[in-house]
A and B are shown apart, each in its own frame.
Chain A
C-alpha cells in the first residue's frame, strides 16, 4: 500500500488538481487576512459603493469592505471545516483502532454506538443545538465531529482487522510484539491513506455544513464566514452588487469544496483496486 499508492497518486490528475487547489485555499486561509487592507468590521465607508482601487470588491450594505470580509470569511469557514474534520478523524481513528484491537464487548459497543449515530441526522442535531443554546462555532464543530466519526471508524476497523492478519504483522506478533507495539508501529502508520480520505471527506461536509448553518441564520451574524456573506448578499441579488458581492464568496466556497471533492474522488479510486486499471 505504501510506496506504490503514493506514486500512483502523484500521477493522478484529480489528485494533482485537488491538492493544488487545496494548497491555494490553504494559502488564502493562512495569509488572506494579511492582504486585507481594511478591517472587516470597519463601517466607515459609503454603503453599496461599486468596486474601486480603494475597495476592490466594493462595499456592502453595512458599509464594510467586501474583500476584507471575504478574506476573513474564508478563514472562518475553512477553519470550521479543518477543526471539525481533524476532531472527527481523530475520534474515528481512535475508536476504529480500539474496536479492532480489543474486540469482544468493547468492539460491539463502539460499533453499535456508531450505527446509532449514523441513523441520526447530524444537521438536525446541529440545528437544534444552535437554536437552543447559541453555542460558539467551535462547540458546533466538535459536536459535528462527534456525530461524524462512525464512517471513518468503520473503514479503519475493517482495514485494521485485515492488516492484523497480514504477512508482516503476524510474524511480529509471533516474535512477541505487544498489542501496543503492533498498534503504534504497524496499524497506525500503515493506514495513512485512509486517514487522508476520511479527512478530506469530513472537512468537505463540515465546510458545507458551516455554510448551510450560517445561511440559515443559526450562527452569529457578526462572525463573518462565507455562508453569512452569501446570506446577506442574496438579499440584494437584484442589484448590480451581485457581481462584486454575491459571486465572489460563492466562488470561494465552490473552490474550497471542489478541491476537497477532487481529493476524495482520487483517493476513493485508489482504494478500489478492482477499478484502477479500468478507470478510463
Chain B
C-alpha cells in the first residue's frame, strides 16, 4: 500500500458513489417518464389500460441503496430496444472491445517505447529529427480522420480488408480459419487505433528517456564499461517506463470512450458500437448501463494503477 494510494482512496470512493447516485437520480429528473420517452414519439398508440400497466411497471420507486444492491447482483436493467438484459449485452460486446483495445495498446505502447528509447539515444541525428516531426504531426490527426481514410483506401478502394464486423457472419470455419478471419477483420480498426496512440507513446517515451540520459547513474553505467545495449535498456529505459505506464493506464481507463468513434466507423461489434446504437434508439437503460460500466472501469483502473506505481517505482513508496 503506497501512501499516495491511501491518500487518493477517499476521492475515488466519493467519485464512485457520486457516479452511482447520479445514475440513480438522473432518470428521475427527466421530464416525463420512461413511458412518455418511449412511446410518445413512436407509432405505437397505447390505450388507457396498457399505459397504466406500463407506468406501473416502470414507476416502482427504489432507494439508492436498493439500486446499488441491484447493480452488485449484475441486474443492470433491461434494454428496451434489444429486448435483452443490459448486463448480457455488455458482456457480449466486452470481449471484442477488449481484443481491439488490448491489442492496440499493447502494440502502440511496445512500439512507441522501443522507438522512443532508440530516438532519444540517437538524438541529434537527422533520421531521429524526421521521426519526431512525423510523430508530432500524426499526434494532431484525430481518430475520426485516420479511421475514415483507412476505411476508404483499404476497404473500399483496394478491397484488402472487410469494411465491417468482427468475423464473417454464418461462416463455418475451423479454429485456425476463424482466428485468421477475426484477425482480418481486426486489421483496420486496429491500425486506426495504433496510428492514434503510437505518436503520443513515442513522444512521451523519448521525452522521459531524454531525462534519464542526463542522470548521473547513466554516466556511471557507461564508465563501468557495460555493453551499450545493457546501459540503454537495463539502466536507462527501465527508468523511463513510469510515465508510459501512467499513460497506458489512463488510456485503458478510456477503453469505451476511446473505442466509440473507431468502432462505429468500422462497425466493430464492441461496446462503442453498442453505445452508438443505444443512443440512436434512445435506449436509456442500456446507455445508462454502458456509461456506468465504463466510468467504474475507469475508476478501478486508476485505483489499480496507484497500487502498481509503488511496485514499479519504489521511490514513490517512500515519498511523503
Q: Which residues of A contact B (CB under 8 A)?
A: 14, 112, 115-117, 119-121, 123-125, 127-128, 131-133, 208, 211-212, 215-218, 230, 234, 237-238, 242, 246-247, 250-251, 253-254, 257-262, 265, 272, 274-275, 278, 280
Contact = CB atoms under 8 A, between A and B. Distances in A.
B275 A119 contact: no
Contacts of B299: 119
B291 A120 contact: no
Contact of B295 (A121, A242, A253, A275): A121
B207 interface: yes
Given A216-B279, A258-B137, 16 more contacts: A120-B19, A123-B257, A127-B279, A128-B288, A131-B279, A131-B282, A133-B29, A212-B257, A215-B261, A234-B265, A247-B148, A258-B140, A274-B211, A275-B210, A278-B123, A278-B213
B148 A250 contact: yes
A78 to B, nearest CB: 14
Interface in B1-39: 8, 10-12, 14-15, 18-19, 22-23, 26-27, 29-30
A121 B252 CA distance: 12
Contacts of B316: none
Contacts of B257: 121, 123-124, 212
A34 B295 CA distance: 43
B145 interface: yes
Contact of A254 (B140, B207, B264, B295): B140
Contacts, number: 127
Nearest to B11: A115
A247 B146 CA distance: 11
A257 B214 CA distance: 33
A253 B136 contact: no
Interface residues of B, number: 57
Is the contact region of chain A dominated by helix, strand, or loop, or is it mixed? helix
Contact of B30 (A132, A218, A265): A132
B247 interface: no
- Chain A CB within 10 A, most for which of B19, B124, B144: B144
Interface of B: 8, 10-12, 14-15, 18-19, 22-23, 26-27, 29-30, 123-124, 129, 136-137, 139-142, 144-145, 148-149, 151-152, 156, 203, 207, 210-211, 213-214, 253-254, 257, 260-261, 264-265, 275-276, 279-280, 282, 284, 287-288, 291, 294-295, 298-299, 302
Given A116-B14, A237-B148, A128 B22 contact: yes
A112 B10 CA distance: 9
A103 B275 CA distance: 43
A257 B136 contact: no
- Chain A CB within 10 A, most for which of B142, B156, B261, B282: B142
A257 B260 CA distance: 18
